[in-house]
C-alpha cells in the first residue's frame, strides 16, 4: 500500500516537474520502497504488525478489505523467508517433529473436540482466515515449569514490553522515513537536492534550513511522544510481582519474569503475563477474573485450575511442582487455548479455562498461583494491542488539494519563466559573457535547453510557494489544542467518575467542527443503564408520585407549575426511586386492594432470574441480574417488604414483612417448579412455584400486548384502567411491564409438566417446543398490575441533543436493543415525538415471520429483501410528499437489524440513504457491531458527510473506528471503546463542549491558519515572480538566501501559531447559546475555493504593491546624499515591507487579540529587524557574497525608508480593509452578528458564567423540551425488557444440555451458592 | 454547561479537591479565557480608520510631492546623438572599433536654480545588471582581501587570462561603465567631484585598501572601462558604484558631484567621451544632473501614492458615511442571522 501511495505521488510529481525530475522521484520511491520493505520485515519478526486490522477485519468495510491484502503480503513474505535455508531455525515444525510430546498431544486434543477453527489452522497452517488470526508458526512450545535452566535453552522472550515506535538506532532512519512520507517534505527534499546543483539561484541553505527546522520539530515531537511511551513501558515493566524462588516468594519486577516461572498474584492484582492457573485460595481451584481491559465486559469470569494442581498453593508446595507444559505458539486469539500439562508422566489437557491473561485482574480471590506461559509481546493481549487508527481529517485532505493547486500554480509560473528565459537569452547582451564557453543554462545556441534548465532554477526559486512549515505548525497547534485545551477543559471534567476529557489523537480537532451526523450508542451513552423502579399500577390504582422530566415539560407547557414534594423519609437506592406513602412500610395493607398488592409484590419477588449475592441483609445484599430491569423489580419488592434473599436451584427464599400483621417478619420459601424464560418472541417470563402451604401459582410478567392477550375473561374495567395507566407511563418515557398470575390445579400442572419435561429433553427444535408448551399454561391469567421503570438518561442528554440538532447535526441512534426500547429512548431524549412522521421498517411482521417459519434460508433472504425493498419504496414515496411541503412534519426512520442487513445491500443502499438522509432522526435497533460500522460508512462514504460515532462498549468499537471521528465514553469500567476512540469524554452531554466549542474553534483556527499560510507564501513568492520578469527570466533571486529561508520559519511563524491557539470568534458560552453558529463549519464556510480565491486575489494585489511601489519609488536617489540603491537594498526594503504587512494582516484577521498576539506580531517584526541588524552588520567568512552587508543601515539612513515603510503596508492592507469592512457591513457572517449583539458584554470568566448557567440549565432544558414535546399524549406504551445475552443459570437445570463455552461467562453467585448449599446439606 | 459537580451534593469547587482528583486545574490559558481585546469592525470604526489614514497621508503626500517638486533634474539622452553621422546605421561597429573616438558635445540648459551639490548620474536602459549570470559573476573575497587574490570562483568567464588571474574578476567589473563627462560653464571648467559617490560601507569593508587591479581588461575582448593599476580598489569609486548592482534593467548610477550652484538660464557644455557599448542591445544612455531634497531625487511617485491612498480613504470615508446615513445597518440585528433569514434555514 505504501508503494502504491508512493506511485501516486510519482504521478503527481511527473505532472508538476519535468521528466528527469520524475526519474529522480522514481529512484527515491524505489529507495523508500526498499526501506519500507525492511520495516515490514522487522514488523513481522516483532509479531506486532497490524493487529488492529486483524481484529476488526471481520467487519469488512472497504478500507479493511484493502488492509486484508496487506495480510496476504505478510503471509507471502513468510513463505519467502522459509525458502531460504538460513532461516531454518525459524521452522518450528521441524522441531516439533522431534518432540515426542507432540504425538501424545494430538490424540488428547482431538478427544477434547474443541476449537475446530484452531485445529484447522494447525493442520493447514497456510490457510489464514483473512485478518482474523495471525499466520501461525506450525508448532507448539514446551515449557518446563519452575525450571529456569531448562527453559533457557529454548530462548523464550522476556516479559519486558516495549510499545515504542523507535529505538535509539532506528529513530533517525525510521523517523525521517515517516517524515518524508509527507508530500510537502519530500518535495522540499527534492528542492533541497536541486538547490545544491549549479542550476539553483539560491544557496542550498535556503531550502535546507526550513526543511531541517521542520524535520527537527517533527522529530522532537516524535521523540517526546516515544519517550512518554517508553516511560509508560518502564512503569509497567517495573511493576512488582511475587515469584517463586527457592521456596520463597520473591518480589521482582515484571520485566524479569520468565517463561516457566511460578508466580503468585494477589486479589485485585493484574496478571503480569499469560499464566496457567495452578491453584487458588478459593475451593475447587476457582478464581474470578475481570477482563475489562480486554473486552470491556465487567462481569467476572471464572477460571478453574486442573484438579491435579490445586494443592500447589503455598511456596513450599509450589516449589515441588515440576511440570511440562506443551501448548500452542503465541497467538492473538483471546478465546482459544490448547495445550497439555505433563506431570508425573500424566498428560492433562489444558483449555482456556486454566489460562489467565495478562491485563486481566484477579477478583474475589485472595491469591492464585500460576505458571508463566507467554510473556511480554507474546501474551495474547499484547498481540491484540490496538494502535490508534490513524485518521486524517477532511480538512487536511482538502488541504492536499490546495497544495496540489499550488503545485499547479508553481508549475505555470515556472513554465512562463522558462519560456521567457529561452526567448530572452541572446548574445547581444555581451555583458553577460555569452560568447566563450558559456554553460548550458545560458547558451543562446540551445534555447530549449535553456528553458528546461531555467525551469529547474525557477522551481527552486519559487519553492517558497509551498508552505513548508504549514504542516508542522498545524501539528503543533493541534497538539497544544488537544493537550492543553481539550484535555484540560474544566467544563468537560466529570467529577463523579473523576474523568477529564481526553483527546487521544490530535489529528482530528478541526474535524470536530464539521460534524453533521452523530451515531450514538444507547446504553451507557444516552442512558445510564440504570433502571429505577419509578411507578406502578396495582389493581387499577396508580402509585408513585415521582415526576419524570418529560412530564414536567408537558405540565409546564400547559402552564402548570409542579411542586415536587420533598419527602424526608423517602427511600431511595440504586434501582428504586419510588415515592408513595400508600405503599411503603406496609401501608399497603390499608389499601382497598391489599390482596392485589400482595400478589404484585410476590410476583416481583418470585418471578425473575435474579441471583442474590453478599450478606443476607436488605442493606448489603446485591442482586446479579440479566438485565438491570429485573434487578430493579426485585429491589422494589425488597423495599415493599418482600425481601428475596436466597435462591437454590429449587427454591426461592423471601423474607416477608407486614404480611399478616404490621411489623411481623417471616422467612418463606417458595418451591420453584418451572422457569419459563424470557425471550424476544415470547416477550414474557413465567415462574411456576409452590407456596409452603401447597398453593400452586404461575407468576408471569411481560409486555402488555402479550399479557393482555392471555388474560382470562372478565374484569374489563381493570383491564381498561391498567391500559390507561400503561399509556400514561409510556408517555412519560417509562418502560412498562405487566404482571399477572394464575392459580394452578395440581392435576393440570402435573400433566402440563410432563409435556414440559418432554419438550425440554427433546433434541430437535427444543426452543420452539418449549415455547409451544409454555403457551399451554400461560393462559387465563389474572392481571395484577403494571410496573414502570425509568431508564435513567445520562445527565443533560435531552438538552444536549436539542442543542446539537439546532446546530444542524443529525443524531442517529444505533443500538442493540429491541425496537420498543429504542423508540422509547428516542422519545425520552427528544429525538422523536408524535408530530413526526415515523417510518418503521421492522422484520417483526407477520409476512416475514411466516417465511421464517418455513425455514428455507434462501427463501427467507429473498423474501425479506423483497419486503424491505417494498417498504423502502413506500416510505420514500410517502416521504416525497413531505419534501415538497415546507411545513410538513419532520420524518423519523426506525429500522431493525435484520431489515438493515438487506437494506444495506448494494442494490437497496441508495434508497436507504435517500430516505435516511431526509429524516430528522434515525433509530436503528437490534444492530450488530458490524452493522453499526456499515451504517456509519454508508453515511461517511455514500453521503460524504462528516460523521462522529460515540459509544461506550466493545460493541461500539467498529463503529467508532469507521466514523471520521470516534468518541468513547470514558470513566466507566470498560476501556475498549476508549482505546479505539479518537476522543474520550465522560458524558454524552460533553459533546456539546467538544463540538460546539472546541470543534468549532479548532475548525475556525485551522482554516485561518491554512489561509494565512497560503496568503503569506503566495504574496512572498509572487514578488519574486514579478522580479523574474525584470531579470531577463534568468531566475535571479530577489531576496537574500537567509531572508527566504527564515521567512517561513522565523519571521512569520510565531504569530500564526498564536492565531491557531487563541483565535476566538465568540466566547464558549455564546457558542453554546447560538448552536446555529456551528452550521458554518458544516457548510465548510471558511475553507471553500471561494475563500481561497479571495485570499489569492489579495496575495496578488499585495505582491504587486510591494514589488512596484518599492521599485518605482526607488528609481531616483533616495536621500539627500544622492547615492543610489543597489539590488540588495531594494530587496531588503521590499522584504521589510512584506514582513511588516504580513504580520499586520494577521492581526487584522483576528477576532480576539490577546497580549500573545501583540507579542507574536511585534516579536516577529522585531525579530526581523534584529536579524537584519546583525546579519547586515556582520561580515561572515563563509558567505559567498556580502550582498546584504550594511544594507539595512544604508536604508535606514535615508528618509525614504520611513516614508515608504508607512505607505506600502497601508496601501497593501487598504484593499483588505475595505473588503473586511464591506463584508461585515453587507454580508455579515453569523458569528459577526452574534459578536455585535453581545459586544457590550464583558467576557466574564467562563466559570462565573457557569454558575449562572447552572441555575438556568434546568429551565433552559425544559424550555427546549417544551418546543420539542409532543402536543398530545404519546400513544405508545414503553414496553421494554432486555433479554439475557447469554445462557442463564437456569439453563443448566433439569438435564438441559447447554453447549459448554470455552470462555464461559460465569456468574460468581451461582458458583458460590452451590458449594454453600452442599456444605449445609452435609452438616 | 452544567458541570456535574454542581449537580451533585455540594459544588465541586466548594468541596476540597479530592486526592488524586484529575480535575484540570484552572488557568486562563487552558480554559481559553485569556483577556483579549475584541475589535469589531463596526461602520464607525471603518469610517474613522479611513479618516485617520486620510488625515495622516494627505499631508505627507503634499510634503513629499513638494520635496520632489523642489528637485531640479536635467536629463539628456545622448546614446544615438553621440554617434557620428556616418555610423548611424552601424552603431555597434563604431563603438567597438578600436582607437580613440572623438568627443561628443552636448549643451544643457538650466531651467531652474540648482543648489549645490548637483549630482551627475548616468542612466542605462535595458542593461540587465540583475541577470543571474551577471550578479554572481564577482568574488567579494578577492575584492576585499589581497591574500585571496586567486579566489576567482564564480567569476567565469572573466576569471583569468593567459597572464594569470584577473583582479577584479568577473563580468561586473569587466563591463565597467566608461563614458566620461566634462562640464564647462561660461567657458569655465566645472569641477566634478568623483569622490564620495559610493556608500561608505562599500569603500571601507567590501573593497580592500591594498587590493590593486591586475590583468584587468587585458584579455581579448574588452568589456568596458579600465582601471588604474596603482590605485587600490577602495579608491576606485566608479568601480565600487558600478559593482553595487542595480535592481532593475533601467538604472541610474552616480557619476560625480558638481559642488557649485547653477543659476537659472545657465548653459552648460558637456564634453562626452562616448565609449560604452549599449548599442548592441539597444540600450539607452542618459546623462542626468539633479539636485536632491531630503527625500532624494526627483520622484513624484511617493507623493502621488500618498495622496492617492489618502484621497481614496477620504472618499471611502465619505461614501461609507453616506451609506451609513442613508441605509444604516443596526449592529447586531438578529434578522441578519442566517437561521432567521430564510425559511427553513437549511
User: What is the DSSP annotation of A444-496?
Assistant: TT-HHHHHHHHHHHHHHHGGGGS-HHHHHHHHHHHHHIIIIIITT-GGG-BTT
Q: Is residue B31 assigned to a domain?
A: no
The rounded distance, in Å, linking the Cα atoms of A962 and A951 is 12
Number of domains in chain B: 2
Please state, as a whole number, how many other Cβ atoms lie within 10 Å of the Cβ of residue A84.
9
The answer to whether the Cβ–Cβ distance between B40 and A438 falls below 8 Å is no
Burial class (CB in 10 A: 0-12, 13-18, 19+), A943: middle
Asked if residue A819 has pLDDT above 90, the reply is no
Confidence of residue A63 (pLDDT cuts 50, 70, 90): very low
The residue behind cell 520502497 is A33
Q: Is residue B22 assigned to a domain?
A: no
Most confident of A766-775, A1045-1054, A1092-1101: A1092-1101
Residues in chain A: 1323
**Which pLDDT score, from 0 to 100, does residue A1308 have?**
29
A521 is catalytic: yes
Which long-range contacts does A620-624 make (Cβ < 8 Å, 24+ apart)? A621/A645, A624/A1307, A624/A1308, A624/A1309
- What b/e sequence results for A269-300 when a residue is b if at least 16 CB atoms lie within 10 Å of its CB, and e otherwise? bbbbbbbbbbbbebeebbbbbbbbbbbbbeeb
**Which pLDDT score, from 0 to 100, does residue A561 have?**
60
Higher pLDDT, A57 or A459: A459
**Which pLDDT score, from 0 to 100, does residue A389 have?**
53
Q: Is residue B61 assigned to a domain?
A: yes
Nearest alpha-carbon partner for B287 in B264, B265, B270: B270
Sequence ranges of the binding site of A for ATP: 521-523, 630, 678, 701, 735, 815-817, 926, 932, 955-956
Please state, as a whole number, how many other Cβ atoms lie within 10 Å of the Cβ of residue A550.
22
Integer CA distances (angstroms), A622 to A573, A637, A1082, in order: 12, 14, 48
> Annotated catalytic residue: which of A74, A242, A261, A521?
A521
Q: Which residue on chain B is closest to A495 by alpha carbon?
A: B5
Nearest alpha-carbon partner for A287 in A356, A216, A197: A356
Q: Which residue on chain B is closest to A1217 by alpha carbon?
A: B46
Asked if residue B241 has pLDDT above 90, the reply is yes
**Which pLDDT score, from 0 to 100, does residue A419 have?**
94
Q: Give the pLDDT mean for A240-260.
A: 87
Asked if residue A818 has pLDDT above 90, the reply is no
Q: Is B136 on the interface with A (CB under 8 A)?
A: yes
**Which pLDDT score, from 0 to 100, does residue A1002 have?**
94
Asked if residue A518 has pLDDT above 90, the reply is yes
Nearest alpha-carbon partner for A491 in A145, A989, A1121: A989
**Which pLDDT score, from 0 to 100, does residue A481 have?**
92
The rounded distance, in Å, linking the Cα atoms of B79 and B256 is 19
Q: Give the pLDDT mean for A664-679.
A: 84
A1298 is written with which cell numbers? 447447554
φ, ψ of residue A205 to 5 degrees: the values are: -55, -35
pLDDT digits (tens, 9 = 90+) for B137-191: 888 888 888 888 888 888 878 888 888 888 888 899 999 999 999 999 888 899 9
The rounded distance, in Å, linking the Cα atoms of A1209 and B51 is 17
Asked if residue A626 has pLDDT above 60, the reply is yes
Q: Are residues B302 and B220 in the same domain?
A: no
Q: Are residues B332 and B272 in the same domain?
A: no
Range of lowest pLDDT (A427-436, A506-515, A653-662, B245-254): A653-662
Higher pLDDT, A842 or B243: B243
Kindly state the helix (H) or strand (E) to which residue A1317 belongs, with its residue range.
Answer: helix A1308-1322
Asked if residue A1217 has pLDDT above 50, the reply is yes
CB A755 within 8 A of CB A776: yes
Asked if residue A71 has pLDDT above 50, the reply is no
**Which pLDDT score, from 0 to 100, does residue A1027 have?**
95
Higher pLDDT, A130 or A698: A698
**Which pLDDT score, from 0 to 100, does residue A285 have?**
81
CB A1024 within 8 A of CB A462: yes
The answer to whether the Cβ–Cβ distance between B2 and A796 falls below 8 Å is yes
Confidence of residue A1135 (pLDDT cuts 50, 70, 90): very high
The rounded distance, in Å, linking the Cα atoms of A688 and A742 is 9
Integer CA distances (angstroms), A391 to A49, A402, A966, in order: 18, 19, 10
Q: Are residues B245 and B278 in the same domain?
A: yes
The rounded distance, in Å, linking the Cα atoms of A373 and A371 is 6
Q: Is B335 on the interface with A (CB under 8 A)?
A: no
Most confident of A707-711, A1153-1157, B26-30: A1153-1157
**Which pLDDT score, from 0 to 100, does residue B328 have?**
83
pLDDT digits (tens, 9 = 90+) for B297-340: 888 999 999 999 999 999 999 999 999 898 888 888 888 888 87
pLDDT digits (tens, 9 = 90+) for A766-791: 777 888 888 888 888 888 899 988 87
The rounded distance, in Å, linking the Cα atoms of B301 and A185 is 43
Q: Are residues B83 and B218 in the same domain?
A: yes
Percent helix / strand / coil, chain B, rounded to 5: 30, 20, 50
Mean pLDDT over each residue of chain A, to the nearest integer: 77
Q: Give the pLDDT mean for A522-536.
A: 82
CB A262 within 8 A of CB A244: yes
Asked if residue B116 has pLDDT above 80, the reply is yes
Of all residues in chain A, the percent with pLDDT exceeding 90 is 20
Chain Cα centroid distance, residue A49: 21
Which residues, at least 6 apart from A966, have a Cβ–Cβ distance to it below 8 Å? A948, A949, A950, A959, A960, A980, A981, A982, A983
DSSP E strand stretches across A857-1015: 891-896, 921-925, 947-951, 965-969, 983-985
Q: Are residues B216 and B108 in the same domain?
A: yes
**Which pLDDT score, from 0 to 100, does residue A37 have?**
43
Q: Is residue B214 assigned to a domain?
A: yes
**Which pLDDT score, from 0 to 100, does residue A210 have?**
83
**Which pLDDT score, from 0 to 100, does residue A1195 have?**
92
Asked if residue A659 has pLDDT above 50, the reply is yes
Asked if residue B251 has pLDDT above 80, the reply is yes
CA atoms within 13 A on the CB side of A529: 16
Asked if residue A137 has pLDDT above 60, the reply is no
The answer to whether the Cβ–Cβ distance between A1111 and B247 falls below 8 Å is yes
**What is the widest separation between alpha-carbon atoms in chain B?**
110
Q: Which residue on chain B is closest to A202 by alpha carbon?
A: B132
**Which pLDDT score, from 0 to 100, does residue A1315 have?**
36
pLDDT digits (tens, 9 = 90+) for A265-290: 988 888 888 899 988 887 778 888 87
Asked if residue B223 has pLDDT above 60, the reply is yes
Confidence of residue A297 (pLDDT cuts 50, 70, 90): low
**Which pLDDT score, from 0 to 100, does residue A1128 have?**
92
**Which pLDDT score, from 0 to 100, does residue A73 have?**
37
φ, ψ of residue B306 to 5 degrees: the values are: -60, -45
CB A678 within 8 A of CB A1280: no
Q: Give the pLDDT mean for A792-810.
A: 86
Sheet holding B188-190, edge to edge: B104-109, B267-273, B180-185, B188-190
Rounded to a whole number of angstroms, the distance from the CA of B216 to the nearest CA of chain A is 15
CB A930 within 8 A of CB A958: yes
Inter-chain Cβ pairs, chain A and chain B, closer than 8 A = 340
CA atoms within 13 A on the CB side of B277: 22
Which residues, at least 6 apart from A915, have a Cβ–Cβ distance to it below 8 Å? A839, A872, A875, A876, A879, A893
Rounded to a whole number of angstroms, the distance from the CA of B315 to the nearest CA of chain A is 12
Amino acid at each position: 500500500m505504501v508503494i502504491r501511495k508512493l506511485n501516486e505521488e510519482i504521478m503527481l510529481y511527473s505532472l508538476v516537474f519535468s521528466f528527469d525530475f520524475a526519474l529522480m522521484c522514481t529512484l527515491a520511491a524505489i529507495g523508500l520502497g526498499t526501506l519500507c520493505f525492511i520495516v515490514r520485515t522487522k514488523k513481522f519478526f516483532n509479531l506486532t504488525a497490524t493487529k488492529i486490522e486483524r481484529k476488526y477485519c471481520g467487519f469488512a468495510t472497504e478500507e479493511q478489505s484493502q488492509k486484508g491484502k496487506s495480510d496476504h503480503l505478510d503471509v507471502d513474505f513468510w513463505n519467502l523467508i522459509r525458502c531460504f535455508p538460513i532461516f531454518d531455525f525459524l521452522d518450528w515444525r521441524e522441531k516439533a517433529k522431534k518432540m515426542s510430546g507432540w504425538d501424545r498431544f494430538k490424540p488428547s486434543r482431538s478427544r477434547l473436540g474443541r476449537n475446530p477453527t484452531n485445529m484447522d489452522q494447525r493442520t493447514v497452517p497456510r490457510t489464514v482466515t483473512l485478518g482474523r488470526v495471525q499466520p501461525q508458526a506450525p508448532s507448539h512450545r514446551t515449557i518446563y515449569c519452575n525450571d529456569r535452566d531448562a527453559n533457557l535453552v529454548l530462548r523464550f522472550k522476556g516479559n519486558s514490553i516495549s510499545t515504542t515506535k523507535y529505538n535509539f538506532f532506528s529513530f533517525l532512519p525510521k523517523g525521517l522515513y515517516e517524515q518524508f512520507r509527507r508530500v510537502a517534505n519530500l518535495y522540499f527534499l527534492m528542492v533541497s537536492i536541486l538547490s545544491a546543483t549549479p542550476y539553483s539561484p539560491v544557496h542550498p541553505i535556503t531550502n535546507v534550513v526550513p526543511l531541517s527546522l521542520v524535520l527537527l520539530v517533527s522529530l522532537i515531537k516524535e521523540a517526546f511522544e516515544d519517550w512518554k511511551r517508553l516511560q509508560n513501558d518502564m512503569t509497567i515493566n517495573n511493576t512488582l510481582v511475587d515469584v517463586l524462588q527457592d521456596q520463597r516468594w520473591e518480589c521482582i519486577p515484571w520485566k524479569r519474569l520468565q517463561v516457566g516461572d511460578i508466580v503468585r498474584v494477589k486479589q485485585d492484582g493484574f496478571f503480569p503475563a499469560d499464566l496457567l492457573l495452578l491453584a487458588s485460595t478459593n475451593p475447587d481451584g476457582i478464581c474470578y477474573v475481570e477482563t475489562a481491559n480486554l473486552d470491556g465486559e465487567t462481569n467476572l469470569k471464572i477460571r478453574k485450575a486442573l484438579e491435579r494442581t490445586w494443592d500447589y498453593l503455598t511456596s513450599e508446595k509450589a516449589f515441588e511442582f515440576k511440570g511440562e507444559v506443551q501448548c500452542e505458539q503465541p497467538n492473538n486469539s483471546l478465546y482459544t487455548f490448547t495445550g497439555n500439562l505433563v506431570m508425573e508422566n500424566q498428560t492433562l489437557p489444558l483449555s482456556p479455562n486454566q489460562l489467565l491473561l495478562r491485563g486481566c485482574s484477579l477478583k474475589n480471590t485472595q491469591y492464585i498461583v500460576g505458571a508463566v506461559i507467554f510473556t511480554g509481546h507474546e501474551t495474547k493481549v499484547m498481540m491484540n494491542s490496538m494502535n490508534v487508527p490513524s485518521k486524517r481529517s477532511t480538512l487536511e485532505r482538502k488541504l492536499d488539494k490546495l497544495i496540489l493547486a499550488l503545485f499547479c500554480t508553481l508549475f505555470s509560473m515556472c513554465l512562463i519563466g522558462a519560456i521567457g528565459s529561452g526567448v530572452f537569452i541572446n548574445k547581444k547582451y555581451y555583458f553577460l559573457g555569452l560568447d566563450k564557453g558559456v554553460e548550458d543554462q545560458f547558451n543562446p545556441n540551445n534555447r530549449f535547453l535553456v528553458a528546461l534548465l531555467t525551469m529547474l532554477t525557477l522551481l527552486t526559486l519559487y519553492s517558497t510557494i509551498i508552505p513548508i512549515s504549514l504542516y508542522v505548525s498545524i501539528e503543533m497547534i493541534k497538539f497544544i489544542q488537544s493537550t492543553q485545551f481539550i484535555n484540560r477543559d474544566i467544563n468537560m471534567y466529570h467529577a463523579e467518575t473523576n474523568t477529564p476529557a481526553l483527546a487521544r489523537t490530535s489529528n482530528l480537532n478541526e474535524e470536530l467542527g464539521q460534524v453533521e451526523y452523530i451515531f450514538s450508542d444507547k446504553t451507557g451513552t444516552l442512558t445510564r443503564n440504570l433502571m429505577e423502579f419509578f411507578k406502578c399500577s396495582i389493581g387499577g390504582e396508580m402509585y408513585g408520585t415521582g415526576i419524570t422530566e418529560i412530564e414536567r415539560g408537558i405540565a409546564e407547557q400547559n402552564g402548570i407549575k409542579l411542586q415536587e414534594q420533598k419527602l424526608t423519609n423517602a427511600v431511595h437506592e440504586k434501582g428504586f426511586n419510588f415515592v408513595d406513602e400508600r405503599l411503603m412500610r406496609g401501608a399497603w395493607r390499608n389499601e382497598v386492594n391489599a390482596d392485589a398488592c400482595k400478589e404484585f409484590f410476590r410476583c416481583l419477588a418470585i418471578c425473575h432470574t435474579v441471583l442474590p449475592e453478599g450478606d443476607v441483609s436488605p442493606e448489603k445484599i446485591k442482586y446479579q441480574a440479566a438485565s438491570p430491569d429485573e434487578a430493579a423489580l426485585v429491589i422494589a419488592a425488597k423495599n415493599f417488604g418482600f425481601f428475596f434473599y436466597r435462591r437454590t436451584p429449587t427454591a426461592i427464599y423471601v423474607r416477608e414483612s407486614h404480611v399478616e400483621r404490621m411489623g411481623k417478619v417471616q422467612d418463606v420459601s417458595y418451591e420453584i417448579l418451572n422457569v419459563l424464560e424470557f425471550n424476544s418472541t415470547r416477550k414474557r417470563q413465567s415462574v411456576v412455584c409452590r407456596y409452603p402451604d401447597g398453593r400452586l401459582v404461575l407468576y408471569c410478567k411481560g409486555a402488555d400486548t402479550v399479557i393482555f392477550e392471555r388474560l382470562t375473561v372478565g374484569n374489563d374495567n381493570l383491564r381498561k384502567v391498567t391500559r390507561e395507566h400503561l399509556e400514561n407511563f409510556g408517555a412519560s418515557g417509562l418502560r412498562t411491564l405487566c404482571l399477572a398470575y394464575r392459580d394452578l390445579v395440581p392435576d393440570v400442572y402435573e400433566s402440563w409438566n410432563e409435556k414440559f419435561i418432554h419438550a425440554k429433553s427433546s433434541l430437535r427444535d427444543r426452543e420452539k417446543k418449549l415455547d409451544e408448551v409454555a403457551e399451554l399454561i400461560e393462559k387465563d391469567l389474572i392481571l395484577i398490575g403494571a410496573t414502570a421503570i425509568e431508564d435513567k438518561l445520562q445527565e443533560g442528554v435531552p438538552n444536549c441533543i436539542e442543542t446539537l440538532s439546532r446546530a444542524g447535526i443529525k443524531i442517529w441512534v444505533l443500538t442493540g436493543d429491541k425496537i420498543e426500547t429504542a423508540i422509547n429512548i428516542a422519545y425520552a431524549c427528544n429525538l422523536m415525538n408524535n408530530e413526526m412522521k415515523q417510518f418503521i421498517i421492522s422484520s417483526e411482521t407477520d409476512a416475514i415471520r411466516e417465511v421464517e417459519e418455513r425455514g428455507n434460508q434462501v427463501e427467507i433472504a429473498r423474501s425479506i429483501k423483497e419486503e424491505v425493498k417494498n417498504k423502502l419504496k413506500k416510505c420514500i414515496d410517502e416521504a416525497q410528499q413531505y419534501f415538497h411541503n415546507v411545513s410538513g412534519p419532520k420524518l423519523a426512520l426506525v429500522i431493525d437489524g435484520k431489515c438493515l442487513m438487506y437494506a444495506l445491500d448494494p442494490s437497496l443502499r441508495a434508497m436507504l440513504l435517500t430516505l435516511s438522509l431526509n429524516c430528522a432522526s434515525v433509530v436503528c435497533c437490534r444492530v450488530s457491531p458490524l452493522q453499526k460500522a456499515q451504517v456509519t460508512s454508508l453515511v461517511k462514504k455514500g453521503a460524504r458527510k462528516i460523521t462522529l460515532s460515540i459509544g461506550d462498549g466493545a460493541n461500539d468499537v467498529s463503529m467508532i473506528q469507521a466514523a471520521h471521528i470516534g468518541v468513547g465514553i470514558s470513566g466507566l469500567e470498560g476501556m475498549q471503546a476508549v482505546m479505539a476512540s479518537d476522543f474520550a469524554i465522560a458524558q454524552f452531554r460533553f459533546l456539546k463542549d467538544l463540538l460546539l466549542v472546541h470543534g468549532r474553534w479548532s475548525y475556525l483556527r485551522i482554516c485561518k491558519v491554512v489561509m494565512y499560510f497560503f496568503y503569506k507564501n503566495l504574496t512572498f513568492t509572487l514578488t519574486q515572480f514579478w522580479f523574474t520578469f525584470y531579470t531577463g527570466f534568468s531566475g535571479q533571486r530577489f531576496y537574500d538566501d537567509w531572508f527566504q529561508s527564515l521567512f517561513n520559519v522565523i519571521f512569520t511563524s510565531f504569530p500564526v501559531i498564536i492565531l491557531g491557539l487563541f483565535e476566538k470568534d465568540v466566547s464558549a458560552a455564546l457558542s453554546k447559546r447560538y448552536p446555529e453558529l456551528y452550521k458554518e463549519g458544516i457548510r465548510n464556510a471558511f475553507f471553500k475555493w471561494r475563500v481561497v480565491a479571495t485570499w489569492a486575489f489579495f496575495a496578488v494585489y499585495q505582491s504587486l504593491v510591494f514589488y512596484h511601489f518599492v521599485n518605482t519609488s526607488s528609481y531616483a536617489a533616495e536621500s539627500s546624499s544622492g547615492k543610489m540603491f543597489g539590488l540588495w537594498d531594494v530587496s531588503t526594503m521590499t522584504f521589510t515591507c512584506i514582513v511588516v504587512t504580513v504580520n499586520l494582516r494577521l492581526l487584522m484577521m483576528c477576532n480576539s487579540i490577546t497580549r500573545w498576539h501583540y507579542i507574536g506580531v511585534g516579536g516577529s517584526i522585531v525579530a526581523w529587524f534584529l536579524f537584519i541588524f546583525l546579519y547586515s552588520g556582520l561580515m561572515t567568512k563563509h558567505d559567498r557574497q556580502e550582498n546584504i552587508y550594511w544594507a539595512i543601515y544604508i536604508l535606514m539612513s535615508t528618509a525614504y525608508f520611513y516614508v515608504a515603510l508607512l505607505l506600502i503596508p497601508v496601501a497593501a492592507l487598504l484593499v483588505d480593509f475595505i473588503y473586511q469592512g464591506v463584508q461585515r457591513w453587507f454580508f455579515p457572517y453569523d458569528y459577526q452578528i452574534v459578536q455585535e449583539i453581545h459586544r457590550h458584554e464583558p467576557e466574564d470568566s467562563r466559570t462565573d458564567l457557569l454558575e449562572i448557567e447552572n441555575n438556568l440549565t434546568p429551565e433552559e432544558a425544559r424550555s427546549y423540551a417544551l418546543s420539542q414535546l409532543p402536543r398530545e399524549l404519546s400513544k405508545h406504551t414503553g414496553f421494554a425488557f432486555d433479554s439475557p445475552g447469554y445462557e442463564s443459570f437456569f439453563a443448566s437445570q433439569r438435564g438441559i444440555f447447554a453447549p459448554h463455552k470455552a470462555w464461559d461467562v460465569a456468574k460468581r453467585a451461582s458458583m458460590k451458592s452451590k458449594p454453600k448449599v452442599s456444605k449445609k446439606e452435609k452438616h | 454547561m452544567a458541570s456535574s459537580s454542581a449537580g451533585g451534593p455540594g459544588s465541586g469547587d466548594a468541596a476540597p479537591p479530592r486526592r488524586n482528583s484529575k480535575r484540570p486545574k484552572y488557568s486562563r490559558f487552558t480554559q481559553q479565557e485569556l483577556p483579549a481585546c475584541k475589535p469589531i469592525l463596526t461602520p464607525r470604526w471603518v469610517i474613522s480608520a479611513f479618516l485617520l489614514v486620510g488625515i495622516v497621508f494627505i499631508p505627507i503626500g503634499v510634503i513629499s510631492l513638494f520635496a520632489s517638486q523642489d528637485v531640479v533634474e536635467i536629463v539628456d539622452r545622448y546614446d544615438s546623438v553621440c554617434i557620428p553621422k556616418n555610423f548611424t546605421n552601424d552603431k555597434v561597429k563604431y563603438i567597438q572599433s578600436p582607437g580613440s573616438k572623438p568627443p561628443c558635445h552636448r549643451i544643457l540648459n538650466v531651467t531652474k536654480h540648482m543648489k549645490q551639490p548637483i549630482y551627475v548620474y548616468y542612466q542605462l536602459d535595458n542593461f540587465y545588471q540583475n541577470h543571474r549570470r551577471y550578479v554572481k559573476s564577482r568574488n567579494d573575497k578577492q575584492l576585499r582581501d589581497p591574500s585571496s587574490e586567486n579566489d576567482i570562483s564564480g567569476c567565469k568567464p572573466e576569471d583569468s587570462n593567459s597572464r594569470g588571474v584577473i583582479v577584479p574578476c568577473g563580468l561586473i567589473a569587466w563591463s565597467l561603465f566608461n563614458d566620461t563627462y566634462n562640464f564647462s560653464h561660461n567657458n569655465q571648467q566645472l569641477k566634478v567631484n568623483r569622490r564620495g559617490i559610493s556608500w561608505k560601507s562599500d569603500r571601507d569593508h567590501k573593497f580592500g585598501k591594498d587590493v590593486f587591479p591586475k590583468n584587468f581588461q587585458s584579455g581579448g575582448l574588452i568589456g568596458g572601462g579600465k582601471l588604474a593599476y596603482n590605485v587600490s580598489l577602495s579608491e576606485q569609486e566608479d568601480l565600487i558604484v558600478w559593482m553595487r548592482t542595480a535592481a532593475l534593467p533601467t538604472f541610474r548610477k552616480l557619476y560625480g558631484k558638481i559642488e557649485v550652484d547653477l543659476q537659472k538660464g545657465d548653459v552648460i557644455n558637456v564634453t562626452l567621451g562616448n565609449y560604452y557599448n549599449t548599442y548592441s542591445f539597444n540600450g539607452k544612455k542618459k546623462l542626468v544632473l539633479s539636485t536632491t531634497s531630503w527625500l532624494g531625487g526627483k520622484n513624484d511617485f511617493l507623493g502621488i501614492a500618498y495622496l492617492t491612498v489618502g484621497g481614496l480613504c477620504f472618499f471611502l470615508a465619505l461614501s461609507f458615511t453616506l451609506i451609513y446615513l442613508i441605509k444604516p445597518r443596526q449592529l447586531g440585528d438578529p434578522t441578519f442571522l442566517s437561521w432567521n433569514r430564510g425559511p427553513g434555514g437549511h
